[in-house]
Amino acid sequence: MPVIKINLKKLEKLLEFKISREKIIETIPIIGSDIENIEENYLYVEFFPNRPDLYSIEGVARALKYFLEIDEAKEYKLEKSDIKVYVDSTVKHVRPYIVACLIEDVRFEDDEDIEHLIEFQEDLHWALGRNRRKVAIGIHDYDKILSKTFYYTTSKHEKFIPLNETREYTLDEILMYHETGKKYGYIIKEAKRYPVIKDSKLRIISFPPIINADFTRISLDTRRIFVEMTGTDKYLLEKAMNIFTSNLIERGCKVKSVEIIYDKNNIVVTPNLRFEEFPLKIDHVREILGLELNIDEISKCLKRMGYIVEELNTSTLKVRIPPYRVDIFHEIDLIEDVAIGYGYPNIKETIPKVHTMAKPDRFEELAKRLRKLLIGLGFNEVLTLTLTNREFEMKCGINKNAVEIQNPIGKEYKNLRTSIIPSLIRFLTINKYKELPIKIFEIGNVFEIVEDEKVLERKNLCLMIYDSKANINDVLSIIYVLEKFFNVSFKLEYTDENVCLKNRCGKIYYKNRQIGIFGELNPKILIEADLNSPVAFLEINLDYLT
């Protein structure tokens, strides 16, 4: 999640009202954020991905003004510009949509303002644009273009000087050699022709979603900005544009709309900056929150959260949602904002009246008693990872069909374990210089693929005794104890599986089903695991004993 750097001096200026820093620092988390760090003049705040409108200082100032009741939300005024963007039908196959606007009365005080704007742009790319796939934003110094017409079209072979470069590149060269080209090129690589935006002189001003031209670059002298956003999701483009422009309005800029001409019959004016209506039932608010709020109190809470609220009737509010909000799907989202507007610290807790009987899980209860027993026998409980690799299991003489991860963190952790034995061997290797005997156990999950690609998740107990005198008799005694514990009798049979030392190992059968293996580890495995003393072990499946 993005961490926004807030210059407190600039924030105070935007608030237009003297508010103490303590109050600001106290209020920001209550609106919904996590303050990561506080410095003398800066706050570093993490806002949630459902509120990208708070990803710039202007948005934070606006939210604070409403929450602290310094100001109330009102409709945005929007003037028209005479700029037109003509959309070529060839873009349909690459990035079909574009929105644009002109922003006037821009005033950057210092380089930090420009940096902040660019970071805001990048955070929107992350939160709404899915890293430029769905939305890519380009901002240009309009006075360096001075064009009334723009063309959103496609091209393949043209050249231009990309941002911060000194020579011309072809579009393919940018994808191949330029840093951002390499990073975002995958989004359009498959296309036969690439999207470009040109001005009336047919100069390329932008190669979305990769890079702008160098000549339209923003500077401290910039007074007018031409904003274009292209992408694949019309709704998100409109939202991104609304957020971007409404936040700039907060710092005194004027926004002028642009006509987007797809064809004669399809002309869109952007941005729209419209407040959408949503009805809210008072009863629903009370029912969800458990707060006995009246209609006035609810509308006050909503106003503190930036909504324009009207009473539709005694039981319903007409809530007008600011154009920069992207997170209102359902009435429930407004109800949460009522709670935030009311202030979480002001809500008095109640205890739910749902009367139910406690019921522990059968296996967990059994495992709990079994752990007690093993601790009584001097075994330490250990926990190990269930991620392992099959090669290591095979080295340990275990060869079962394992669940396999498509995108593992490394070869060592490519599979889910089919047995706990390798896990405990690894544990012993880590602890081989410790005082002996080491007696350990783990009750945990093992996973195996059985017929039809079905995954069987089982609960096993595995225990090991690592000592110069460890031998099969130690675990035979444990089997005796387990028989008493489960009140069953096991049938034991000799086995010569690879994991074992021959003549010193057996399988455990319960009701004619093999449920376990025990004995002394094969010395080859001990050498492989760099262990110098013998290991007596037992692994038993608990599912049939529960």
Partner 1 sequence: MKIENPIEKNVFLALKETKRATLDEICKRTGLDKDKVSRAIYWLINKGIVKIEEKKDFIIRRKKDYLPEYLLYDYLVKEGNKHINELRDKFKDINILIGWLRKKNLIEIKNGVVYPKEFKETEDLKLFNMLKHPVRYSELNDELKKGFDMLKSRKEFIEIKEISEKYYVLTDLGMKYEITVEEDHLTSLTPEIILNLKEGKLSYDNINVVKAEFIKKPVKIAKLHPLRELMEEIREIFLGMGFEEISGNVVESCFWNFDALFVPQDHPAREMQDTFYLSKPSRLDIDEKFLENVKKAHEGGYYSVGWRYKWKKSLAEKALLRTHTTAVTIRYLAYNGNKESKVFYIGRVYRKEKITYKHLPEFHQVEGIVVGKVTFRDLMGILKEFYKRLGFEKIRFRPSYFPYTEPSLEIEIFFEKKGKWLELGGAGMFRPEVVRPFGIEYNVLAWGLGLERLVMLRYELDDIRKLYFSDIDWLRYI
Is 174 near partner 1 (CB under 8 A)?
Answer: no
CA atoms of 314 and 282, how far apart (whole Å): 8
Positions in 305-364 near partner 1 (CB under 8 A): 329-333, 335-336, 339-340, 344-345, 347-361, 363-364
H helix or E strand, kind and range, residue 311: strand 308-313
Shortest Å, Cβ 356 to partner 1: 5
407 sits near partner 1 (criterion: CB under 8 A): yes
Burial of 145 (0-12, 13-18, 19+ CB in 10 A): buried
How far apart CA 441 and CA 365 sit, in angstroms, is 17
Residue 503, sorted as left (phi over 0), alpha (psi -120 to 50) or beta, turns out to be: left
For partner 1, give the closer residue by CB, 64 or 440. Answer: 440
User: Between 269 and 288, how does the x/- string for binding to partner 1 read (CB under 8 A)?
Assistant: ------------------xx
Does the footprint of partner 1 cover residue 130 (CB under 8 A)? yes
Q: Which is nearer to partner 1, 253 or 396 (CB)?
A: 396
Candidate list 14, 15, 51, 262; residue touching partner 1; CB under 8 A = 51
CA–CA dist 52, 128 (Å, integer): 8
Q: Are strands 316-321 and 276-281 parallel, antiparallel or unpaired?
A: antiparallel
In the complex, minimum distance from the CB of residue 430 to partner 1, in angstroms, rounded to a whole number: 6
CB of 338 to partner 1, least distance (A): 9
Tell the smallest beta-carbon distance from residue 546 to partner 1 (Å).
11
Q: Which of 67, 427, 490, 537 binds partner 1 (CB under 8 A)?
A: 427
Contact present, 257 and 80 (Cβ < 8 Å): yes
Q: Which is nearer to partner 1, 29 or 252 (CB)?
A: 29
Binding residues with partner 1: total (CB under 8 A): 87
Q: How far is the CB of 406 from partner 1 (least distance, A)?
A: 4
> Residues 25, 30, 191, 479: which binds partner 1 (CB under 8 A)?
30
Q: Is 413 in the site for partner 1 (CB under 8 A)?
A: yes
251: exposed, middle or buried (Cβ count in 10 Å: 0-12, 13-18, 19+): buried
Does the N-terminal peptide bond of residue 271 adopt cis geometry, omega within 30 degrees of 0?
A: yes
Amino acid, res. 50: N
**543 Cβ neighbours under 8 A, 6+ residues apart:** 458, 459
Query: Per CB under 8 A, does 530 bind partner 1?
Result: no
Residue 50 pairs with which residues in a beta bridge?
A: none
CA-wise closest residue to 210 among 199, 222, 194: 194
CB of 333 to partner 1, least distance (A): 6
Which are the contacts of 133, defined by CB distance < 8 A and separation ≥ 6?
187, 209, 231, 232
- For partner 1, which is the closer residue by CB, 22 or 349? 349
With CA atoms as reference, report the closest residue to 105 among 257, 222, 265. Answer: 222
Taking the complex as a whole, how short is the minimal distance between the CB of residue 511 and partner 1, in angstroms?
23
By beta-carbon proximity to partner 1, the closer residue of 7 and 533 is 533
Name which of 18 and 410 has its Cβ closer to partner 1: 410
Q: Does 513 bind partner 1 (CB under 8 A)?
A: no
Of 192 and 409, the one with the shorter C-beta distance to partner 1 is 409
- Which of the residues 62 through 121 are near partner 1 (CB under 8 A)? none
Nearest to 309 by CA among 338, 286, 287, 332: 338
Question: At closest approach, how far in Å is the CB of 236 from partner 1?
Answer: 9
| From 21, 42, 44, 48, residue interacting with partner 1 (rule: CB under 8 A) | 48
Compare residues 434 and 491 and give the one whose CB is closer to partner 1: 434
Residue entry with tokens 């989202």: 333
At residue 133, the 3 state secondary structure works out as coil
- Compute the least distance from the CB of residue 346 to partner 1, in Å: 11
* Residues 364-403 interacting with partner 1 (rule: CB under 8 A): 364, 368, 371, 374-387, 402-403
CB of 379 to partner 1, least distance (A): 6
CA atoms 255, 327, 297, 56: torsion sign: negative
Q: Cβ 449 to partner 1, closest distance in Å?
A: 6
The answer to the question of residue 49 lying near partner 1 (CB under 8 A) is yes
Identify which of residues 88 and 448 has a Cβ nearer to partner 1 in the complex.
448
SS3 of 46, please?
strand
Residue 418 to residues 52, 154, 160, 263, 383, Cα–Cα distance (Å) = 45, 54, 58, 62, 16
Q: Scanning residues 435 to 474, which ones bind partner 1 (CB under 8 A)?
A: 435, 438-440, 445, 447, 449, 453-455, 457
CA-closest candidate to residue 291, choices 349, 332, 330: 349
Task: Name the segment binding partner 1 (CB under 8 A); options: 266-274, 312-320, 429-437, 482-490.
Answer: 429-437
192 is a contact residue toward partner 1 (CB under 8 A): no
Residue 366 and residue 545: Cα distance in Å, rounded?
Answer: 9
In this complex, which beta carbon is closest to partner 1, that of residue 224 or of residue 325? 325
Binding mask 232-261 for partner 1 (x = CB under 8 A): -x-x--------------------------
Strands (E), 264-342: 266-270, 276-281, 308-313, 316-321
Q: Which is nearer to partner 1, 314 or 433 (CB)?
A: 433
Read off the DSSP letter of residue 410.
Answer: S
